[in-house]
């Protein structure tokens, strides 16, 4: 009997086998995601186009196309030098809060998640319940009590008032916990211990590299949250020298809303554009990490 | 002398010295110019953009003095911060910018230093009536005016000419012009209003009304007096016939509307040119200034809308130094610097200055607008006062009177509702409401 070429039973008129690696093309899906894509990108395109306009053009020309003058570089120069370069100060403040706050939060989340996932200790279930409960509490509800607490410690109107609350990220902790559970095989840790490595060394040299995707995910998550944080600094800070970019841009925006005020909407838009660029760069460069980090913990190796 | 007596003498002298030092440390009635020569640090909370140059000039003249000018927010935002600092007893500034309508609140809380001891009461003649009355109560001076907001009518002349509208001189003519404009172009309105407490109270002021009266802890609120009734009767038909643009002042649409012809005029304070120049640059050359519409042809009576002054906080330890700066900024060189940058003066000498009056404004097609604005300043009706809790009152304006703007009630009823709400609040706060 001659060997016949096997034709997979699933193939019909199209003649291609649909595997997980080559999913079936769906026109409907393409259209829907296309719409969502356009919806998400329009505000960014609007921002990009309108940051090139002068003050007058902003109110008199069509929103999604360029104005009569192209003022991008002029707006850029003015935004960076307005009010003795306060924008750069605000940028520095934001970087400080993100580096210290988000960086610190990620470190704490990794340490905590690792410990909770890989070690047994009494009260572990209680900790689990409290952390999950904390994720459910909205940040805005805690902002005012946090203010009272910091006020009694005379820490308001200082950078500590922003950094310390940013260090606590229950969601980051939970994310690292579930990631660490799946990413680190217990045998590996046993092997390290048998070889004589201390707990710290086991963590730093053996387990941490395995936790990289989860760590980057938590880092990006906390970075975005701290970079965009508006309500906390609004309550805690008085001195404009310590404002992050969110509060600073708001102050520029409301400048026009007063008797004799100077409208600088063109600088507000340029400032907004400059504010979102670092985040976009961070996300694009760390794409491969967070893409794998999100799905980790969902599939048993 | 025995050692005991000499020791007593020494202790006595030491006590006397420390007592004197203690007294001067209180900063009681130290001479301001001496304090300036000594130097020190001052913190000022203000949003007024023209103060930057004043601070630089003062520091140049007094190298021993260091001033920290902080913008903690505009208007109500700053008052909240100020109130918090006062309640906390710390973290506040030495000087703060306070608008005239909010002065009552801080005066009553005894948070402002009385400036009579520095001779401020003798400066009365140097300031226009409205601003001066805003900064003082019963002869006690609690601050010095920085700028003023005598009202005038700012109108888009090119739009008026296009639809053949005469510049209205009385409120009757104004209402007629509003009707004519809207009929000719349904997309254009004479003015915008979605419920602005400051605007309505200023109109009542101009109509001769005196709805708010404070005597100690007695507060009289009568929003149904002659002036209030006149304003309600004027404005109601405009609201009924939808002749008023439903655009809120100070919003993005407002700036846009001023530029594209949706809003043809504004009846507001003399500080508006600065906002128009920076916020509506495309309107340059189209706008003009005319006197505020009158109730009776041939009369000239106006009111103030907005404007602010600087006050020294009661708990400041550098009152004398602060007063020296205050004088510099309001009647001295600082005032000239601010006026150059476009602030509208509150000082009579500047309001009558030839150069000031003759200045031509390119934005207004070369018109000498200061002549109109200065005349308005000199015609402000005397005797107006705000409530000790005016900031609060303004914040609840839209709960009652605001309903008239969406057709649920009339202005008259809305004002009555506002009156009731304010009387209730006054009683809650410990005042006696009349």
Does a structural domain hold residue B2?
Answer: no
Q: Examine the domain organization and report whether A202 and A282 are in the same domain.
A: yes
pLDDT score of B22 = 46
Please indicate, yes or no, if residue A16 is contained in any of the structural domains: no
Partner residue facing A59 (CB), from B47, B149, B255: B255
Q: What would the pLDDT profile of B278-291 be if each residue is shown by its tens digit?
A: 889 889 999 999 99
Are residue B275 and residue B347 in the same domain, yes or no?
Answer: no
> For chain B, how big is the Rg over CA atoms in Å?
24
- A54 and B281 within 8 Å at the Cβ level: the answer is yes
CATH number, residue B116 = 3.40.190.10
Angle (CA) A104-A106-A110 rounded to 5° is: 120
Comparing CA positions, the residue from B184, B366, B198, B178 lying closest to residue B264 is B178
Percent of chain A's residues with pLDDT above 90: 37
Residues B265 and B376 in one domain: yes
B182 and B119 assigned to the same domain: no
Question: Is the residue at B5 inside a domain?
Answer: no
Average pLDDT over residues B394-423: 91
Q: Nearest 5°: CA angle at B148, between B146 and B150?
A: 170
The reply to whether A162 and A269 lie within a common domain is: yes
How far apart, in Å, are the Cα atoms of A179 and each of A116, A256, A287, A300? Answer: 11, 48, 18, 11
Same domain, A216 and A156: yes
Residues in chain A whose beta carbon is closer than 8 A to a beta carbon of chain B? 54-56, 59-60, 151, 157, 238-240, 251, 254-265
Looking at the structure, tell me whether residues A131 and A184 fall in a common domain. yes
Q: With CB atoms and an 8 Å threshold, state whether A260 touches B275.
A: yes
B4 inside domain: no
Q: Which residue do the tokens 């500047």 mark?
A: B350
Residue B3 lies in a domain: no
Examine residue A1 and state whether it is found in any structural domain, yes or no.
Answer: no
A18 in any annotated domain: no
Contacting residues of B for A261, CB less than 8 Å apart: 47, 49, 74, 274-275, 278
Counted across chains A and B, CB pairs separated by less than 8 A come out at 80
Chain B residues with CB-CB distance to A262 below 8 A = 49, 274, 278
The answer for residues whose C-beta is within 8 angstroms of residue B114's C-beta and 6 or more apart is: B140, B141, B142
Confirm if B431 and B219 have CB atoms less than 8 A apart. Answer: yes
| Chain A, nearest residue to B307 by Cα | A259
Domain boundary among A13, A37, A70: A70
Closest approach of A100 to chain B, Cα-based (Å): 25
Co-location of B220 and B367 in the same domain: yes
Q: Which residue has the tokens 């963590």?
A: A203
pLDDT tens digits along B151-162: 999 999 999 999
The two tokens of residue A121 are 């200790």
Kindly report the nearest CA distance between residue B271 and chain A, in angstroms.
5
Number of domains in chain B: 2
The answer as to whether B1 is a domain residue is no
Q: What is the CA radius of gyration of chain A?
A: 25
Q: How many CB atoms lie within 10 A of CB B107?
A: 21
Residues A144 and A186 in one domain: yes
Find which of A54, A59, A151, A252 to mutate to test the B interface (most B CBs within 10 Å of its CB).
Answer: A59
Number of domains in chain A: 2
Position A293 scores a pLDDT of 57
Pairing of strands B151-156, B265-269: antiparallel
Closest CB to A239: pick one of B70, B259, B271. B70
Q: How far is B278 from chain A (nearest CA, A)?
A: 5
Same structural domain for residues A53 and A85? Answer: no
Q: Is residue B318 included in any domain, yes or no?
A: yes
Of B74, B252, B342, the CB nearest to A258: B74
B369 and B240 within one domain? yes
Pairing state between β B287-291 and B151-156: antiparallel
A256 contacts in chain B (CB < 8 Å): 250, 255, 275, 278-279
Distance of CA A131 to the CA centre of its chain: 20
Indicate whether A128 and A168 sit together in one domain: yes
Q: What's the rounded Cα separation, in Å, for the pair A284 and B217?
A: 64
- Which residues, listed in sequence order, are joined to residue B191 by a DSSP beta bridge? B244
Gap from B299 CA to chain A (nearest CA, Å) = 27
The continuous run of DSSP H or E covering B385 comes out as none
pLDDT value at residue A203: 87
Predicted local distance difference test score (pLDDT) of residue B35: 87
Is A200 buried (19+), middle (13-18) or exposed (0-12) by CB count in 10 A?
exposed
**Same domain membership, residue B120 and residue B45:** yes
Question: Nearest residue on chain A to B99, judged by CA atoms?
Answer: A259
Q: Is position A76 within any domain?
A: no
Distance of CA B58 to the CA centre of its chain: 24
Which H or E run contains B287? strand B287-291
B389 inside domain? yes
Q: Both B418 and B399 in a single domain?
A: yes
What pairs with residue B288 in β-bridges?
Answer: B155
Q: Would you say B96 and B44 are in contact if contact means Cβ atoms under 8 Å apart? A: yes
| Residue A282, in any domain of the structure | yes
**Averaged pLDDT score across all residues of chain A:** 85
User: What is the DSSP annotation of chain A?
Assistant: -PPPPP--TT--SS----BTTBPPP-HHHHHHHHHHHHHHHHHHHHHHHHTTS-HHHHHHS-TTS--SS--HHHHHHHHHHHHHHHHHHHHHHHHHHIIIIIHHHHHHHHHHHHHHHH---TTHHHHHHHHHHHHHS-HHHHHHHHHHHHHHTT-TTSTHHHHHHHT--HHHHHHHHHHHHHHS-HHHHHHHHHTT--HHHIIIIIIHHHTHHHHHHHHHHHHHHHHT--HHHHHH---GGG--HHHHHHHHHGGGSSTTPPP-HHHHHHHHHHHHHHHHHHHHHTHHHHHHHHHTTSS--
Name every chain B residue with its beta carbon within 8 A of the beta carbon of A260.
48-49, 147, 271, 274-275, 342-344
Domain identity same for B81 and B185: no
Is there a single domain that holds both residue B196 and residue B330?
no
Which of A211, A24, A219, A26 lies closest to A114 in space, CA to CA?
A: A211
Interchain proximity A260–B274, CB inside 8 Å: yes
Q: Do A256 and B279 touch (CB under 8 A)?
A: yes
For residue A182 the two structure tokens come to 């799946």
Last residue of a domain, one of A19, A38, A70: A70
- Total number of residues shown for chain B: 434
Task: Please report whether residue A200 resides in a domain.
Answer: yes
SS (H, E, C) A242-299: HCCHHHHHHHHHHHHCCCCCCCCHHHHHHHHHHHHHHHHHHHHHCHHHHHHHHHCCCC
| Residue A301, pLDDT above cutoff 70 | no
Q: Do B279 and A260 touch (CB under 8 A)?
A: no
Same domain (yes/no): A239, A94: yes
Mean pLDDT highest for which of A237-241, B193-197, B337-341? B193-197
- Whether pLDDT at B19 is above 70: no
Do A171 and A260 fall into the same domain?
yes
Judging contacts by C-beta atoms under 8 Å, the chain A residues touching residue B260 are 59-60
Indicate the average pLDDT of chain B.
89
For the stretch A6-28, pLDDT in tens is 555 444 555 566 666 777 788 99
Domain at A204, CATH number: 1.10.3720.10
**What confidence tens digit (pLDDT) does each residue in B89-124 have?**
777 899 999 999 999 889 888 899 999 999 999 999
pLDDT in tens, B142-151: 999 999 999 9
**For residue B230, is it within any domain?**
yes
Domain extent for B49: 10-148+307-351
CB-CB contact of B51 with B44 (8 Å): yes
My answer on whether A162 and A44 are in the same domain is no
What is the average per-residue pLDDT within A32-54?
94
B24, pLDDT greater than 50: no
Kind and range of the H or E element at B30?
A: none
Do A180 and A201 lie in a common domain?
yes
Closest approach of chain B CAs to the CA of A275, in angstroms?
21
For residues B225 and B126, state if they share a domain: no
Contact yes or no for A60 and B47 at CB 8 A: no
Give the separation between CA A105 and CA A112, rounded to whole angstroms. Answer: 10
**For A56, which of B252, B275, B281 is closest by C-beta distance?**
B281
Pick from A277, A281, A255: nearest CA to A268: A255
| Same domain, residue pair B230 and B128 | no
Range of the domain at A57: 29-70
Q: From B72, which residue of chain A is nearest by alpha-carbon distance? A: A238
Note if the pTM is more than 0.90: no
- For an interface test with A, which of B92, B271, B279, B306 has the most A Cβ atoms less than 10 Å from its Cβ? B279
B14, B130: one domain: yes
pLDDT average, residue stretch B173-178 = 95
Which stretch of A277-291, B99-113, B416-430 has the lowest confidence by average pLDDT? A277-291
Residue B14 has pLDDT above 80, yes or no: no
Residue A245 lies in a domain: yes
What is the rounded CA–CA span in Å between residue B79 and residue B72? Answer: 9
Inter-chain residue contact A251 with B71, CB threshold 8 Å: yes
**Domain finish residue from B288, B321, B351:** B351
Going by C-alpha positions, the residue among A258, A251, A263 that lies closest to residue B305 is A258
């Amino acid at each position: 009997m001659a060997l016949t070429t096997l034709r997979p039973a699933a193939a019909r008129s199209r003649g291609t086998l649909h595997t997980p690696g080559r999913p079936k093309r769906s026109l409907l899906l393409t259209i829907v995601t296309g719409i969502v894509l356009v919806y998400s990108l329009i505000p960014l395109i609007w921002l990009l186009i309108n940051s090139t306009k002068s003050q007058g053009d902003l109110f008199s020309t069509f929103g999604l196309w360029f104005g009569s003058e192209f003022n991008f570089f002029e707006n850029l120069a003015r935004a960076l030098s307005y009010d003795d370069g306060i924008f750069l100060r605000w940028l520095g403040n934001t970087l400080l809060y993100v580096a210290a706050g988000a960086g610190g939060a990620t470190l704490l989340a990794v340490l905590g998640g690792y410990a909770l996932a890989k070690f047994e200790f009494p009260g572990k279930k209680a900790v689990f319940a409290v952390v999950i409960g904390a994720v459910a509490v909205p940040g805005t509800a805690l902002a005012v009590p946090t203010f009272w607490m910091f006020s009694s410690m005379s820490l308001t109107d200082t950078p500590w008032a922003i950094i310390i609350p940013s260090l606590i990220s229950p969601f980051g902790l939970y994310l690292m916990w579930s990631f660490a559970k799946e990413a680190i095989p217990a045998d590996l840790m046993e092997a390290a211990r048998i070889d004589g490595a201390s707990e710290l060394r086991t963590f730093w040299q053996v387990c941490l590299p395995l936790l990289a995707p989860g760590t980057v995910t938590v880092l990006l998550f906390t970075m975005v949250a701290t970079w965009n944080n508006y309500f906390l600094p609004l309550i805690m800070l008085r001195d404009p020298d310590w404002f992050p970019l969110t509060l600073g841009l708001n102050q520029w925006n409301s400048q026009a809303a007063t008797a004799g005020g100077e409208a600088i909407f063109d600088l507000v838009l340029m400032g907004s554009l400059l504010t979102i660029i670092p985040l976009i760069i961070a996300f694009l460069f760390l794409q491969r990490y967070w893409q794998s980090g999100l799905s980790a913990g969902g599939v048993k190796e | 002398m025995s050692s005991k007596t000499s020791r007593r003498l020494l202790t006595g002298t030491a006590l006397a010295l420390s007592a004197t030092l203690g007294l001067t440390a209180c900063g009681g009635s130290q001479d301001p110019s001496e304090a300036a020569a000594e130097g020190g640090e001052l913190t000022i909370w203000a949003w007024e953009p023209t103060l930057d140059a004043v601070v630089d000039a003062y520091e140049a003249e007094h190298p021993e003095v260091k001033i920290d000018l902080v913008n903690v927010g505009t208007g109500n935002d700053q008052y909240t911060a100020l109130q918090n600092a006062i309640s906390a007893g710390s973290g506040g500034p030495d000087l703060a910018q306070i608008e005239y309508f909010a002065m009552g609140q801080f005066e009553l809380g005894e948070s402002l230093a009385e400036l009579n001891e520095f001779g401020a009461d003798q400066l009365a003649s140097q300031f226009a009536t409205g601003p001066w009355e805003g900064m003082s109560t019963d002869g006690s001076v609690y601050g010095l005016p920085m700028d003023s907001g005598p009202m005038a009518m700012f109108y888009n002349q090119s739009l008026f000419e296009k639809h053949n509208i005469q510049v209205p001189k009385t409120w009757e003519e104004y209402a007629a012009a509003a009707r004519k404009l809207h009929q000719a172009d349904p997309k254009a309105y004479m003015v915008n209003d979605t419920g602005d407490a400051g605007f309505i109270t200023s109109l009542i002021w101009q109509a001769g009304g005196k709805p708010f009266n404070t005597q100690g802890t007695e507060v009289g609120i009568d929003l149904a007096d002659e002036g209030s009734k006149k304003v309600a009767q004027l404005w109601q038909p405009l609201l009924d016939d939808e002749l008023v643009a439903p655009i809120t002042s100070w919003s993005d649409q407002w700036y846009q509307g001023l530029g594209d012809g949706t809003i043809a005029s504004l009846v507001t304070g003399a500080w508006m040119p600065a906002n128009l120049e920076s916020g509506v640059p495309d309107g340059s050359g189209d706008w003009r200034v005319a006197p505020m519409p009158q109730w009776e042809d041939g009369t000239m009576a106006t009111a103030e809308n907005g404007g602010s002054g600087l006050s020294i906080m009661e708990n400041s330890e550098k009152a004398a130094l602060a007063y020296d700066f205050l004088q510099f900024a309001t009647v001295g060189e600082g005032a000239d610097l601010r006026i150059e940058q476009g602030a509208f003066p509150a000082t009579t000498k500047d309001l009558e200055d030839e150069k000031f009056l003759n200045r031509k404004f390119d934005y207004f097609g070369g018109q000498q607008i200061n002549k109109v604005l200065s005349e308005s300043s000199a015609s402000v009706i005397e005797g107006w006062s705000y409530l000790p809790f005016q900031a609060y009152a303004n914040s609840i304006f839209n709960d009652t009177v605001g309903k008239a703007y969406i057709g649920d009630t009339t202005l008259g009823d809305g004002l009555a509702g506002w009156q009731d709400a304010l009387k209730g609040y006054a009683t809650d706060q410990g005042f006696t409401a009349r």
